[in-house]
Structure 1
Amino acid sequence: MTVQESPAGTDVFVAEWEEWHRHKDAALAHEHGFLAVTGLYWPNAEPQRFPGAPGVWSAGDDGVTVELDDGEELVVDGVTVRGRHHFGVLAERASVNAVWGDAVIETARRGGQDVVRPRHPDHPLRTRFAGTPAYAPDPRWRITGTYVAFPEPRPTTVGAAVEGLEHVYDAPGKVRFELDGQELELTAFEGGGPGDLLVLFTDATSGVTTYAANRALKIDAPGPDGRVVLDFNRATNLPCAYTDFATCPLPPAENRLSVAIEAGETIPYERKSAAA
């Protein structure tokens, strides 16, 4: 069911969407955000140097280690480190940002593998960022649905933007909704706040007007009756839509919709330029 808006309510709706979109793009373009990433590296037992990062890096069962050269230093959790620094074993989807001058060297764990990603604020992808294109906000795409919880959260394995990598997420339930008389449903993952949900999906616009691999939609925690609101105007690109240095998850197979969701963010200018 589409949530109806009065003309005055529509003006507020559009203004709130524009503010949300500005804030979302500002976070993306933060000096050490994803647009600042200059490389994606996979350390292993063989010590190696990575462009844009100091020292020599290696990884094993005990996590990632860097051997810094004389005169080099990193600031980790506010502490200056020199020589050999061991980051330890990181939990899946955890990250540690080590400051190096005006840059940040991210050490992370993704898909069961260790990752090193330098982030430099002068990276052209960031400095030339002109915002994310999107469909004009339309209340028609703010749809009421119903959340149906599974008896137990289901571990769900999905692919990744990086070939050969897989992610595992807990799916606590699914969201059902109706669009143009068609009953649809999406498997939902746990969101960022208590009870909040996240759905990853593709639709008939994917690869045409929207990014081919995925889009994401955050959903506020369901009400006591299971009611949820899916505001597809706020369907966003994940970092992999802008850069090849991201390990974003792909939607589960059941979240590949056959309908066209002509709402939310469209293919970034940066990805269009790369394709051209």
Structure 2
Amino acid sequence: MTIAVYPSVDTDWAQWHTRHSARLRNPQHRPGPIARHSLGEAPEQFPGVPGTWWVVESRVFIAAKPGDRLDHDGARIAGIEILDPVDGAPGIILRHDNRALEILRKEGQTSIRVYAPAD
């Protein structure tokens, strides 16, 4: 019996994990999520999360006003933003004030993870 060893898989995963953790952490954030909300096809609002959220054909729709202070890639969302999270891939990070919102898709289910600022 031959056992194949793929050291690059472990290295790749460790590098991904380091990058993913760094995206969510900064001096104002804790590493663990404080809330998780599942998204469905009907537009919905969630406690403590700005905007209205829904999913159509695996794409996430977010309706927000500038006053909601919801940012994606450094730009304020003003209107409808459409995101396309990839199943099983690292989540898409949005910012609300000093919190991180991670939009992710896993096994066909789309959700928002909310990360709170440090005390």
TM-score when scaled to structure 2? 0.67
- State how far apart, in whole Å, the 2-side matches of 1:49 and 1:32 are: 24
3-state SS, counterpart of residue 39 of structure 1: strand
Contact 2:62 2:81 in 1 (8 A): yes
| 1:220-259 → structure 2 map (5 Å cutoff) | none
Equivalence for 1:160:
none
> Gapped runs of 5+ residues in structure 1?
1-23, 128-276
CA offsets 1:146-190 (integer angstroms, 9 cap, x no match) = xxxxxxxxxxxxxxxxxxxxxxxxxxxxxxxxxxxxxxxxxxxxx
Q: Does 1:53 align with 2:49?
A: yes
Distance 2:102 2:42 in 1: 19
1:234 aligns with none
Measured in 2, the distance between the counterparts of 1:41 and 1:80 equals 22
Shift of 1:61: 0.6
2:88–2:106 Cα contact (<8 Å) kept: yes
Shift of 1:33: 1.9
Q: Are residue 33 (structure 1) and residue 31 (structure 2) matched?
A: yes
Map of 2:9 onto structure 1: none
In structure 2, the CA distance between the partners of 1:73 and 1:82, relative to structure 1 (3 Å rule), is farther
1:93 alignment counterpart = 88
Q: 1:70 to 1:81 in 2, by over 3 A?
A: closer
Confirm or deny that 1:77 pairs with 2:73: yes
Amino acid at match of 1:91: V
> Aligned Cα RMSD in Å?
2.5
With structure 1 as the length reference, what TM-score do the two structures score?
A: 0.31
Larger RCO, structure (CA 8 Å, separation 6 or more):
2
Q: Figure out how many residues of one structure are paired with residues of the other and give that number.
A: 95
Change (3 A) 1:121 1:70: closer
Cα-to-partner distance string for 1:198-256 (whole Å, 9 max, x where unaligned): xxxxxxxxxxxxxxxxxxxxxxxxxxxxxxxxxxxxxxxxxxxxxxxxxxxxxxxxxxx
Larger radius of gyration: 1
